[in-house]
């Protein structure tokens, strides 16, 4: 991620730790009747608009 953003990896890691210690986001883990795991996380902090541009949304699948 750091090469794509043009940021030193150490600075990116430091930023991640600063985020983790200062943001109190709500995270929800659940699974449905088929056993599919669902993870949702709210961006409930003051700088959410800036983070939306660098937040990665993914869908992970196993065995198809």
Domain borders along the chain are: 25-64
Condensed to tens digits (0 to 9), the pLDDT of residues 19-31 reads 777 766 778 899 9
Mean pLDDT in residue range 3-14: 88
- Residue 57: pLDDT above 80? no
pTM higher than the cut 0.85: no
Q: What is the largest CA-CA distance in the chain?
A: 43
Q: What is the pLDDT of the chain when averaged over all its residues?
A: 81
* 34: confidence class by pLDDT, cuts 50, 70, 90: very high
Distances (CA, A) of 51 to 14, 24, 29, 42: 15, 14, 21, 12
Active site residues: 25
């Amino acid at each position: 991620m750091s090469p794509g953003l043009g940021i030193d990896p150490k600075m990116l890691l430091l930023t991640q730790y600063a985020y983790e210690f200062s943001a109190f986001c709500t995270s929800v883990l659940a699974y449905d009747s088929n056993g599919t795991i669902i993870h949702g996380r709210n961006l409930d902090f003051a700088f959410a608009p800036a983070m939306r541009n660098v937040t990665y949304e993914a869908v992970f699948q196993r065995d198809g």
